Amino acid sequence: MSIQVLLTPWLLGVVGLGLCVAAVYGSGVLASRWKLAKQRLGQEKEKDDDWSILDFSDTKPMPPDFDWAKTEVKPYRPWSNGPHHVTMGLKKTSLDDWIEIDREYLERYQYKRQLFAQHPADTVQNLPGSKEACFEALEYLVDFLPRRYPAMFRKTDVGVRNLVTGEDWDLRRESSTWKSYHPLQVMGLLTTEDWFVLQTDDDGQTTRLRAGANCFPAGWRLRERMGHSLWQIHAGKVPEYEQKLATSMDRFFLRLRADKPVMRFNYAIDLSGELFHINSHHNLTADCLDKPLTIDQLHLRVERQFLQRLPRTRGLIFSIRTYVTPILEVTKDKEIARALRTSVDSFSPQVAAYKNKHIWNDILITHLDEVLA
């Protein structure tokens, strides 16, 4: 519904008020009131306009003494000391928070290089019609990185220089770069995040995954989900998706504006610290274990997901930063351990099965009891 339609009752009220006043005070007051009404309408419409570009000119640079190699990984613990609820869990954010870089940067870069070379079909995919959105996302990232991390990246006449890896990326459309790389793949090598482009069908009703560069999947294969709608990706897999999430997710993805990026987190208890999980690790059975599980094998896997509308192509650029931490490290903080205990204890049967609670619960709870004793 447009802003004009929404404001129609308000305008009618203003006009009516103006006519009444004019009858008493004369046409001069009516003209004044009408001018004020038009000004207010113009201000509201201008306020409602979505961004036509992503402007990074006001991006706050990291401090001059920022050293990625000495920057600790942020300890995200996305649960509260209360019941676990199935929600979208969206949080408003800003473009300054688009990318996080820390001491894992170079190690993850090297692993991505290896995965792109050894598993090309499982790490990079794209469908016809997604190219312009992918290039738009890359253009914005290359504008952002030298502003946010000037000690690590430098803008060049043809692209960007990575001062950490020593790479000079020629990102002109006519460059030979595109014979070997996809734009989202370059984005993945510049950052620690994995990258995806989603686009809306011509009917304006369905959002689909159209391109991706994904080195750290959480139990799924990129090539098997290309072209899938949100429903196809989640229904029958994510607990309570159909009942609690499907309608609100569809509506949100269709309506997201370029000036309102959002972030969300999720977490799982993994049976290893491996990042590259292309085989399903949800709804597993105990038969998947080669030997008895130990507390040393359990890891907390957290995904920091960032969703941003691309102004020109109107695609969505979706990034995932994955954090993997040994449970023994996580539970050094007793308050965190206590909240984790409360959260996993409150899993519904569907969530518990999805997160493999029957496999790791006894070992984790025994450990948490020892920590909290």
What pLDDT, on a 0 to 100 scale, did the predictor assign at position 39?
54
Mean pLDDT value across residues 85-101:
92
Assign 129 a pLDDT band (cuts: 50, 70, 90). Answer: very high
Residue 236 in this model has a pLDDT that exceeds 60:
yes
Mean pLDDT value across residues 341-349:
94
Question: How far, in Å, CA of 113 to CA of 370, rounded?
Answer: 41
What pLDDT, on a 0 to 100 scale, did the predictor assign at position 6?
36
What pLDDT, on a 0 to 100 scale, did the predictor assign at position 217?
96
Assign 251 a pLDDT band (cuts: 50, 70, 90). Answer: very high
Structure tokens at 33: 């009131």
Mean pLDDT value across residues 232-245:
91
Residue 196 in this model has a pLDDT that exceeds 50:
yes
Assign 36 a pLDDT band (cuts: 50, 70, 90). Answer: low
Question: How far, in Å, CA of 210 to CA of 186, rounded?
Answer: 17
What pLDDT, on a 0 to 100 scale, did the predictor assign at position 273?
94
Question: CA of 337: how far to CAs of 74, 347, 368, in Å?
Answer: 17, 16, 7
What pLDDT, on a 0 to 100 scale, did the predictor assign at position 82?
73
pLDDT digit string, tens, across residues 148-194 = 999 999 999 999 999 999 999 999 999 999 999 999 999 999 999 99
Mean pLDDT value across residues 117-132:
98
What pLDDT, on a 0 to 100 scale, did the predictor assign at position 81?
74
Positive or negative, the Cα torsion across 360, 361, 367, 371?
Answer: positive
Mean pLDDT value across residues 44-68:
85
- Regarding predicted confidence, which is higher, 24 or 229? 229
What pLDDT, on a 0 to 100 scale, did the predictor assign at position 40?
52
Report the mean per-residue pLDDT for the chain: 88
Assign 312 a pLDDT band (cuts: 50, 70, 90). Answer: very high
Assign 38 a pLDDT band (cuts: 50, 70, 90). Answer: very low
Residue 241 in this model has a pLDDT that exceeds 60:
yes
Residue 26 in this model has a pLDDT that exceeds 70:
no
List the single range of 74-88, 99-113, 214-228, 256-270 with lowest mean pLDDT.
Answer: 74-88
Q: What number of H helices and E strands is found in the chain?
A: 13, 10
- Residues 186, 174 contacting (CB under 8 angstroms): no
pLDDT digit string, tens, across residues 135-154 = 999 999 999 999 999 999 99
Residue 329 in this model has a pLDDT that exceeds 50:
yes
Percent of the chain with pLDDT over 90: 77
Question: How far, in Å, CA of 261 to CA of 52, rounded?
Answer: 14
Residue 20 in this model has a pLDDT that exceeds 90:
no
User: Structure pTM?
Assistant: 0.85
* CA nearest to 190, candidates 304, 282, 106: 106
Question: How far, in Å, CA of 88 to CA of 122, rounded?
Answer: 27
